[in-house]
Chains A and B, each alone.
Chain A
């Protein structure tokens, strides 16, 4: 029990410790790569926690933002020959600016309608990446992307540091005035506005933060794979990132990090199924989402269920 409590309280520190020690056990390259990808996905998932978990809007276009970051880094590094650290910084900035543009529709649109805008955005990015061959290499991909630190461990530790920084910053954001405003917008934007909070401002801010983190994740993606192809940024990928957030418990940063590990590893574990791999993967995802209310689901349900503040009887009278 006491161990459980300890783990729960210091989850982030424990994860950091495990991640720092992990390479010392000299794991096989493949496992190492999967952990690296999990970290890269975790950064994006944390960004989605800010958007979906704290503020509420649903985005199925984050693969497009990931692509924006990845291609920004890749193109600036290989074609424009920018200094690598500058290209690395440019990735989240460019994605953030696009997030700013993507934030404005969120002011007028709700739920599924906003989702269609984000799908459209993601698809547009993919189609442009597929067709602007001179810039992106089109279907042949963008090759030979250099790394910020030209050594596997260096990139790995940079990513651990970045993930931890992002996680801590997000947790602090959660407790700050901004975080409270975001949480309050999720509960009821109208009431929040009446309370004197600038709802539009905070909504757009959540989009920008989330997009910038997706861009950062994209820069790491480019460094990890060193090859970019539009096929890595489909709507399935966007849905997979959303799933990491949902599995992690919607508004939990630690949950998102752990869930991105699980969701990243799952298709690799299923690799032995060859052609049926993606089918089984999709069915598992579907079962996880739909599955009967086990403990995890109970928790999900509590979070998702419409919490009635007023007693049911009062509500009935109120509706008349």
Chain B
């Protein structure tokens, strides 16, 4: 207690001297807080992409895809091979990976999800299937790329920008920019194109959409492909922040679920806000409180959201008819 009291005037005195390193604790603290929040936000936006994918699949099929996180890891590992090993130029490598995951997602949708849905398998069975799919992907990655944590060259540069006391890595800004562009593209897709409109129609009412002549057997796999691509983009962007490990996906899946449940299933903004909340709070808690129990905290927040505000922040009010 005495030590606490003694430190306060010292901090006040040092405030008047603006040299680096001797600044007031709270000023340094504030800079650190902003820096951590920005890093957390970047991470949170990467949770938001697979989270939005989860929401897309949920709205179209009423199912959760547990393997979403592992598709993210798979995207990262494909990038590791295409860019890190084959040394293709970065934009081309990105396109190759996105094309591959688009095909994979479409195949998954038309081979697994759609037939199961049509044959009216119970959601619990399809869900257990996605857990099995997740385990299959993790072990395939383990076999192909090995158990060690891997990373490749950070294309966005390793030199941090300095703003006063804050040091911010360039990839943080790149992530902000890329996600912003993606949001605009998705908004365009969903409001201005026929395919996007069809996806929304299927999400709203499957039977009615089918009666209106929408090819449900193509739109549902396409929705799943889109969400796979979103996860893969997140996997490509995450490498500068976290090295790739085969088990990364399970952890990220729970974070993505957390984001979408906190933010809300209905819209892109729900996933973005939810992701930002999860990313920022997780980073702050890991640094300021305890790194061991940061995930427990996230889970507790999710559970309380589910219990006390089901539907998340941006909730759609659904009235259940009897």
Binding site for B on A (CB under 8 A): 52, 58, 60, 105, 108-109, 111-113, 115-117, 119-121, 123-124, 127-128, 131, 190, 235-236, 239, 242-243, 246, 275-276, 278-279, 281-283, 285-286, 289-290, 293, 300-301, 304-306
Residues on B with beta carbons closer than 8 Å to the beta carbon of A111: 62, 123-124
Docked Cα-Cα span, A123 to B257, in Å, equals: 13
Closest beta carbon of chain B to A280's beta carbon, Å: 9
Give the shortest distance, in Å, between B314 (CB) and chain A (any CB): 16
Q: For residue A60, which residues in chain B have a CB less than 8 angstroms away from its CB? A: 127, 131
Decide: B127 and A112 in contact? CB cutoff 8 A: yes
Shortest CB–CB separation between residue B308 and chain A, in angstroms?
9
Task: Knowing that A105-B306, A127-B295, A286-B133 touch, tell me 8 more A-B residue pairs with CB under 8 angstroms.
Answer: A112-B58, A115-B64, A116-B64, A119-B254, A131-B292, A278-B135, A283-B132, A304-B121
In the bound complex, how far is the Cα of B322 from the Cα of A105, in angstroms? 22
Q: B123's contact among A112, A131, A285, by CB below 8 Å, is which?
A: A112
The answer to whether A275 touches B142, judged by C-beta atoms less than 8 angstroms apart, is yes
User: Complex formed: what's the CA distance from A239 to B115 in Å?
Assistant: 21
Chain A residue contacts of B135, Cβ below 8 A: 236, 239, 278, 281-282, 285
Interface size on B, residues (CB 8 A): 44
List the B side residues contacting A300 at CB < 8 Å.
121, 125
* Contact assessment for B143 and A279 in the assembled complex, using a CB-CB cutoff below 8 Å: yes
Please name all residues of chain A whose beta carbon is closer than 8 Å to the beta carbon of B299 when the two chains form the complex.
120-121, 123-124
Collect the chain A residues with CB atoms within 8 Å of residue B64's CB: 112, 115-116
Tell me if A109 and B306 are in contact (CB < 8 A): yes
Residue B274 is within 8 A (CB to CB) of chain A in the complex: no
- Beta-carbon contact of A246 and B112 below 8 Å: no
Query: Which partner residue on chain B sits nearest A234 by CB separation?
Result: B250
6 pairs from A and B in contact (CB 8 Å cutoff):
A121-B299, A275-B142, A279-B140, A282-B133, A304-B125, A305-B119
Docked-complex contact A283 and B136, CB < 8 angstroms: yes
B129 on interface, CB distance cutoff 8 Å: yes
| A301-B303 in contact (CB<8A) | no
Asked if B103 is at the interface (CB within 8 A of a chain A CB), the reply is: no
Residue A242 contacts which of B124, B142, B250 (CB distance < 8 angstroms)?
B124
Closest 9 CB pairs of A and B: A279-B139, A282-B136, A120-B299, A304-B122, A239-B131, A282-B135, A285-B132, A112-B64, A289-B129
Interface residues as binary, B102-135 with A (CB distance below 8 Å gives 1, 0 otherwise): 0000000001100110011111111111011101
Dominant SS at the A interface? Answer: helix
The answer to whether B120 touches A305 (Cβ under 8 A) is yes
Report whether B139 and A278 are in contact in the complex, using a CB–CB cutoff of 8 Å: yes
B120 partner residues in chain A, CB cutoff 8 A: 301, 304-306
Please state if A113 and B128 are interface contacts (CB–CB under 8 Å): no
In the bound complex, how far is the Cα of B119 from the Cα of A301, in angstroms?
Answer: 8
For the complex formed, measure the closest distance between the CB of B3 and the CB atoms of chain A, giving whole angstroms: 28
Residues of A within 8 A of B5 (CB): none
**Cβ of A256 to closest chain B Cβ, rounded Å:** 14
| Chain A residues, CB < 8 A from B293 | 127, 131
Does the CB pair A286–B143 fall under 8 Å?
A: no
Residues of A contacting B140 in the complex (Cβ-Cβ under 8 angstroms):
279
Given A116-B261, A278-B135, A282-B135, A246-B310 contact (CB < 8 Å): no
- A-facing mask of B179-213, CB < 8 A → 1, else 0? 00000000000000000000000000000000000
Query: Which A-chain residue is minimally distant from B115 (CB atoms)?
Result: A290
Per-position 1/0 for B240-255, Cβ under 8 A of A: 0000000000100010
Contact B139 A286 (CB under 8 A): no
- Which residue of chain A has the shortest Cβ distance to B302 in the bound complex? A120
Q: Which of A235, A246, A276, A278 contacts B124 (CB 8 A)?
A: A246
A290 to chain B, nearest CB (A): 6
Q: B102 CB to closest chain A CB, in angstroms?
A: 21
Interface membership of B319, Cβ < 8 A: no
Q: At the interface, yes or no: B1 with Cβ under 8 Å from chain A?
A: no
Do A116 and B306 touch across chains, with their CB atoms under 8 A apart? yes
Smallest CB–CB gap between A178 and chain B, Å? 22
Q: How many Å from the CB of B257 to the closest CB on chain A? A: 5
Which of B116, B136, B250 lies at the interface centre, i.e. has the most chain A CB atoms within 10 A of its CB?
A: B136
A293 to B302, CA, bound (A): 38
Kindly state the separation between the CA atoms of A300 and B136 in the bound complex, as whole angstroms: 23
Q: Judging by beta carbons under 8 Å apart, are A113 and B310 in contact?
A: yes
- Kindly state whether residue B33 has any CB partner on chain A within 8 Å: no
Give B261 Cβ to nearest chain A Cβ, in Å: 6
